Amino acid sequence: MAFVLLVIGLTFGSGFIFFRETTLEEILPEMERARVIYLGEVHDSREAHELQLKVIRYLADRGHRFVIAMEMFQQQFQEHLDDYIDGLIDEEEMLRLTEYRRRWGFDPELYAPIWRFARERGIRIFALNIPSYVLRDVREKGLENVRSGYLPPKIVPVSEEYREFLKEAMGRHEGVDERRFLDVQNAWDSGMAWRVAKLVAGNPDRKVVVIVGSGHVWRGFGIPERVNHILGEVPQAVLYMDGKEVYFRFSKDFSRETSSASSIRAPN
């Protein structure tokens, strides 16, 4: 799978933009510098999952120690992922016990090469998603009225730019209540960021590679921004797909305008 990379630089807060072509192979060493690496996806895109595996294999072959966090699994089922990686249960049993097909639903063959590679190499996989019932409570009661160990003690408000992105996404769904939609999205991002932050703190000698939908890491908002609020400045790299384009961003603090941003356009 080949990509042409267009590097986009935003500097000085002036909106100045420049472009240059490079390759994914030139970006991969940049990702090695990161403590957290987000591999955002379009869930049903086989190209996205091939790209994720390429990055994971690259890191493993370069001798990096890391864990993988996957949105596809809810956190209450962690023990079954542990059993799968440890060889105590097979793939089908893992999918059944994690209720993958009911709670996620996308063809498991899209992700199977990733978890099979992790099992082969002994790389731990962690469930990233928060339980459905937590999101249901947020939808029904409002985020300010929900307390859960799956959510951080302090919820960061949605930034204005990210809010506009979410409202645009919301506009594609008729009859959606804006406040409830934003509450659920914020809980979702915050809960997954809380999980990532705990994985970073609990694995000081390892990177954390995050497999998640592109909307949760768009331009470094969503999860990455919240991880920085929880942990302070942490070197993070974001690679995510949007349509046929793949964007790359590397920064210690995604709230700063000096963060770099890049894009990869897939061939037709």
Q: Which of 46, 42, 36 is nearest to 111 (CA)?
A: 46
- Identify which has the larger pLDDT, 156 or 200: 200
**Identity of residue 231:** L
Whether 128 contacts 195, CB under 8 Å: yes
Mean pLDDT value of segment 98-118? 97
Q: What average pLDDT does the structure give for the chain?
A: 86
CA angle 227-231-236, nearest 5°? Answer: 50
The answer to whether residues 11 and 258 touch, using CB atoms and an 8 Å cutoff, is yes
Q: Name which of 199, 205, 195 is nearest 226 in CA terms.
A: 195
What pLDDT score was predicted for residue 6?
Answer: 43
Name every residue whose Cβ is closer than 8 Å to that of residue 112 and which is 6 or more positions away in sequence.
91
202: pLDDT strictly greater than 80? yes
- pLDDT band for 173, please (50, 70, 90 cuts): low
DSSP code at position 244: T
The identity of residue 100, as a single letter, is Y
pLDDT greater than 90 at residue 167: no
CA angle at 144 for the pair 143 and 145, rounded to the nearest 5°? 90
Q: Which helix (H) or strand (E) holds 76?
A: none
Residue 86, pLDDT above cutoff 80: yes
Count of other CB atoms within 10 angstroms of residue 124: 16
| 85 φ, ψ (degrees, to nearest 5) | -65, -35
- Is 181 or 59 the better-scoring residue by pLDDT? 59
Q: How far apart are CA 210 and CA 213, in angstroms?
A: 10
Does the domain formed by 26-237 have CATH 3.40.50.11550? yes
Q: Which two tokens stand for residue 98?
A: 């994690």
Tell me the domain boundaries of the chain.
Answer: 26-237
Q: Give the integer Cα–Cα distance in Å for 172 and 155.
A: 26
pLDDT exceeds 80 at position 198 = yes
Higher pLDDT, 230 or 256: 230
